[in-house]
Amino acid sequence: MKKQTTLRVLCRIMAALMLVSALAIPAMALTTHAEEAAPDAEYEAKKQAYREQIMADDVTTDDLLIGSWVSFYSFETDSYEYQLDQMAAAGINFNMFPKNFGSGAMFDAEYWADVEAQYAKRNMVYQMNGSMAEKNIAIGVEYAAGKEHCVGYHLVDEPTADKFPEIARLSKIYREMDQTRYPMTNLFPSYAPEWALGGTYEQHVTNFVQTIGPENIEYLSHDYYPFRDGGVVLTDIFADMEVLRKVAYENGKLKTHAYPQSTAWNGTRMPTVNEMRWNVYGYLAYGFKALSWFNLVCPGSSDTEGEGFRDSLIYRDGTIRDPELFAAFSELNWEVRGLSSILMNQDVVHAYHTTKANGVETLPEDYFIQPDGRRMEFIVSVMEPKEGEDRYIMLFNKNTRRNTMECKFNVDLTGEVKWLEYFDPFTGEYIPVEIKDGVMEETFRAGEGRVYRLRTDEPPVEETTAEETTEAPTETPTE
């Protein structure tokens, strides 16, 4: 059960919001769908109150986590505390590497005591730097002991299939020494060479889970970077999402984690805000429960070394080159966190595509909701609750080129579902959806997913005013 954080933590994060606004992000008109519908003071007050509620609620792995791979630039440019404040204000609540980047570097007890203190102040969580060296496991477990904001160990990134038995052995040691936390391994995408995967992609992921044991896995994780030079988008990413969703669901409904792309390097490019939203909501449509941006900060020491990392949300010198993109990125993080209370209690059973694509499920013709138009490319996510009886669907707009789209859906309300409620991630409120003559009309932003609760009771009767119910006087005909 969660406990409320102290007022001091809430004040610290509120101060961070003002800090980023003043130092990094100029005022701009970020228009959300909900704001278009109700751009008034009352709505803004509800939005602010809901964000403060999210800030005040303790973050654990029972929440939807939003983090980053490389998260820091030189502390000589800006202090550790300043950079953490900037992250907290941008909606980030989790870091894979909580201070210095580098797997296997254990540092010392004083280092980890400071990390815990700084993350506790901002209501953020982190992973301990794990190690593939058995001798370091006990050290890491010792450093993690008693640290409430340490939620796991980062073990290894993108291992080849032949390394799975050794990862399994080390994972079991971690779990024997620390039964409250899990080691985490991140898997290749499907476009890795076959010799690395050891078979098909589904075989690769299934082999990993069966070898390590689902009881030793909290998050089944992978990466896939779709935004390539020349405006290319690799849409086979959805087939990878389906593999992870299916394998995780069939092995005890494991949580899933991925790395949305927010960096440019050799062969890739910086995504637009529409594409970043598409990347994030695509994962949410497949039931993913944690996301780590790749990256918040541009990796490396130059644009030409190694993999040629050349741009990110924050450049390696601490500069925010595109303040509007950074502001939109921050708003997107808070939007996603606003869905946490719903999505963390739901498992995606099917992610149906309304148009045919490789390696995914297609929407059955008899499903109760259908797009009214052949060119509407959507995913309809069908969810089931972990607890309780509330059932949800997500409608995810796969289009990234049009900023907004007016979309119609044919909705059959003659069966079990009698009406729908939209969950507003900005205010935490449910809004009844108007369905007229079996048609629902909604406005979607590019790459947006919208979550709806399926109601099986009778819809509420609209109240009418006295003016509407008063009948016109009957005139007496004259002779």
Residue numbers of the chain with a pLDDT score lower than 50: 1-13, 15-16, 19-38, 472-479
The confidence score (pLDDT) of residue 471 equals 52
Residues with Cβ within 8 Å of residue 351, at least 6 apart in sequence: 238, 241, 242, 245, 285, 286, 287, 360, 361, 379, 380, 381, 382
d(CA 119, CA 121): 5
Residue 370 contacts residue 376 (beta carbons within 8 Å)? no
- Write the pLDDT tens digit of every residue in 133-181: 999 999 999 999 999 999 999 999 999 999 999 999 999 999 999 999 9
Angle (CA) 360 362 365, round 5°: 170
- Which token pair is 161? 């299939």
Sign of CA dihedral 93, 98, 104, 108: negative
Q: How many CB atoms lie within 10 A of CB 431?
A: 15
Smallest CA-to-CA distance from 282 within 214, 236, 328 is with 236
Residue 235 contacts residue 377 (beta carbons within 8 Å)? no
Question: With b meaning 16 or more CB within 10 Å and e meaning fewer, what string describes 385-398?
Answer: eeeeeebbbbbbbb
Q: How many CB atoms lie within 10 A of CB 118?
A: 18
Burial class (CB within 10 angstroms; exposed 0-12, middle 13-18, buried 19+) of 400? buried
- Write the pLDDT tens digit of every residue in 93-125: 999 999 988 766 778 899 999 999 999 999 999
d(CA 194, CA 222): 16
Residues with Cβ within 8 Å of residue 462, at least 6 apart in sequence: none
Residue 428 contacts residue 440 (beta carbons within 8 Å)? no
Q: Which amino acid is at 86?
A: Q
- Which token pair is 335? 């939007």
d(CA 305, CA 170): 33
Q: Which amino acid is at 439?
A: V
Sign of CA dihedral 48, 53, 56, 60: negative
What 112-119 contacts at long range (C-beta under 8 Å, 24+ apart), as own/partner pairs, is: 112/143, 112/144, 112/147, 112/150, 116/147, 116/148, 116/149, 116/150, 118/80, 118/81, 118/84, 119/84, 119/95, 119/149
The confidence score (pLDDT) of residue 467 equals 55
The confidence score (pLDDT) of residue 20 equals 46
- Collapse the DSSP code of 214 into the 3-class scheme (helix H, G, I; strand E, B; otherwise coil) and give the result: helix
165 CA to centre of own chain:
30
- Which token pair is 449? 């997913």
- Which token pair is 448? 């947006």
d(CA 70, CA 97): 7
d(CA 381, CA 282): 10
Average pLDDT, the chain: 90
Residue 122 contacts residue 84 (beta carbons within 8 Å)? yes
d(CA 256, CA 184): 11
- Write the pLDDT tens digit of every residue in 199-250: 999 999 999 999 999 999 999 999 999 999 999 999 999 999 999 999 999 9
The confidence score (pLDDT) of residue 464 equals 59
**For the chain, percent helix, then strand, then coil, each to nearest 5?**
35, 25, 40
Smallest CA-to-CA distance from 220 within 228, 212, 230 is with 212
The helix (H) or strand (E) run that includes residue 166 is helix 164-177
